[in-house]
């Protein structure tokens, strides 16, 4: 049986696979490489790797214990008296523990939604500026560099996905793992938005 630690840490690396896919098919192109200085490009692309690897380090190597929140408990109690086992009882189900775990996962979902909400404002602001018909600069920039629209579309998709965890909120350890995935998607989203800002800034030069 997999330990709690293995459950959680295995979920951490799923966003990195998604990020590598995005880099390969949407970012690492001749136009982007020739336009953005390599040191700046690599510095932005490595952000999700640094954050996720650091989280992995703190959860496994530094702590050396289960990577669950300290208040998150196992709601199945297997310490059953022999008399109860004889009656067919296999474990006790702690409803107080379930209620506590639901509160923990709810707080995770609330924090994730709040972060996604702020990113929505950034995306909306960027779309408003870029689509402004009175600013010819942005129109010309989009014609020369259409990948900006691709990145914005990806950013919107990732941000919408980050609202899914509220539907997965329950008292099990798997729900904590799901939050690790979507937290990683937020890091990817931030890198995409930084890339868009860098391209727009470079276009001003």
- For the chain, the domains span 1-204
Report, as ranges of residue numbers, the positions in the chain whose pLDDT lies below 70. Answer: 1-9, 59-74, 76-78, 81-91, 93, 133-135, 168-174
Closest CA to 171 of 90, 72, 59, 65: 72
Q: What element of type H or E holds 198?
A: helix 173-204
Residue 151 in contact with residue 192, Cβ under 8 Å? yes
- CA–centroid distance for 94 within its chain: 31
Q: Which residues contact 147 (CB under 8 A, 6 or more apart)?
A: 26, 27, 29, 31, 32
Instruction: Quote the pLDDT of residue 171.
Output: 56
CA–CA distance from 77 to each of 65, 140, 171 (Å)? 20, 65, 15
Show the CA angle centred on residue 176, arms to residues 172 and 180, nearest 5°. Answer: 160
**Can you give the pLDDT at residue 1?**
40
Task: Please name which of 173, 171, 180 lies closest in space to residue 68, comparing C-alpha atoms.
Answer: 173
Which pLDDT belongs to residue 2?
Answer: 45
Tell me how far apart the alpha carbons of residues 37 and 41 are, in angstroms, rounded to a whole number: 6
Give the span between the Cα atoms of 183 and 119, in whole angstroms: 13
């Amino acid at each position: 049986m997999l330990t709690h630690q293995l459950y959680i840490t295995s979920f951490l690396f799923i966003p990195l696979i998604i990020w590598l896919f995005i880099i390969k098919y949407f970012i690492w192109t001749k136009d982007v490489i020739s336009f953005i200085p390599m040191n700046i490009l690599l510095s932005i692309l490595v952000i999700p790797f640094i954050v996720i690897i650091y989280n992995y380090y703190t959860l496994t190597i530094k702590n050396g214990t289960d990577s669950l929140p300290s208040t998150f408990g196992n709601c199945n109690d297997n310490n059953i008296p022999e008399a109860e086992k004889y009656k067919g009882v296999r474990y006790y189900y702690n409803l107080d523990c379930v209620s506590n775990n639901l509160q923990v996962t709810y707080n995770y979902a609330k924090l994730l939604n709040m972060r996604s909400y702020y990113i929505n404002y950034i995306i909306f602001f960027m779309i408003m500026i870029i689509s402004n018909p009175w600013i010819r600069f942005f129109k010309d920039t989009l014609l020369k560099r259409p990948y900006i629209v691709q990145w914005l579309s990806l950013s919107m998709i990732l941000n919408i996905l980050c609202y899914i965890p509220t539907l997965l909120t329950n008292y099990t350890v798997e729900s904590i793992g799901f939050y690790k995935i979507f937290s990683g998607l937020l890091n990817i989203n931030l890198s995409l938005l930084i890339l868009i800002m860098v391209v727009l800034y470079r276009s001003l030069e």
